[in-house]
Homo-oligomer: A and B are copies of this chain.
């Protein structure tokens, strides 16, 4: 069976994700790739560590795709998320959504990454020069001024 939603401890090949959504009905594919950023303001990240509740995470990724199918018709989604230690610039997550028209592809892909940050049991530990910390909720819809910087904050 084709697996369109997966966690992996190996580097993610973007083409593996994109190729799962290419189809004659699609005119647009939007891909979102999250990479490990070195600096957040002046704070330097050395590397990241991702942990996941793998079977549940894969199930939740699939649920997100099902939500997308309800919200935007005729979509196809694939998502891969990395686990383990990631160096700077490595790919943490890759999302690909194909749709007939481009507007939907952008919106659905954006929705996917926001939902991942809400419901998929995956955790990130940031390792800095002066310590390490498991990072909590980092949805962009909230303010985290009081917290330590995170990849997306």
Q: Which A positions have Cβ atoms within 8 angstroms of B?
A: 14-15, 18, 22-39, 88-89, 98, 100-103, 105-106, 109-110, 113, 140, 151-152
Number of copies: 2
| Cβ contact of A30, chosen from B30, B101, B151, cutoff 8 A | B30
A106: chain B residues at CB < 8 Å are 32, 106, 109-110
Known: A106-B109, A113-B102. A30 touches B31 (CB 8 A): yes
Given A89-B24, A106-B106: A32 and B29 within 8 A (CB)?
yes
Contact A27 B88 (CB under 8 A): no
Q: Which residues of B contact A109 (CB under 8 A)?
A: 30, 106
Q: How far is the CA of A88 from the CA of B88 in the complex (A)?
A: 37
17 further contact pairs, Cβ within 8 A, besides A29-B34, A106-B106 = A14-B14, A24-B37, A25-B37, A26-B89, A27-B36, A27-B151, A29-B32, A30-B109, A31-B32, A31-B33, A32-B102, A34-B102, A37-B100, A101-B152, A102-B110, A102-B140, A106-B109
Please give the distance in Å from A114's CB to the nearest CB on chain B: 9
In contact, A140 and B103 (Cβ under 8 angstroms): yes
Bound complex: CA A37 to CA B23 (Å): 8
Are B32 and A27 in contact, CB atoms less than 8 angstroms apart? no
Question: In the complex, which of the residues B25, B30, B39 contacts A38, with contact meaning CB atoms closer than 8 Å?
Answer: B25
Tell me the complex Cα distance, A118–B93, Å.
32
Given A22-B89, A102-B140, A140-B102, do A33 and B28 touch, yes or no (CB 8 Å)?
yes
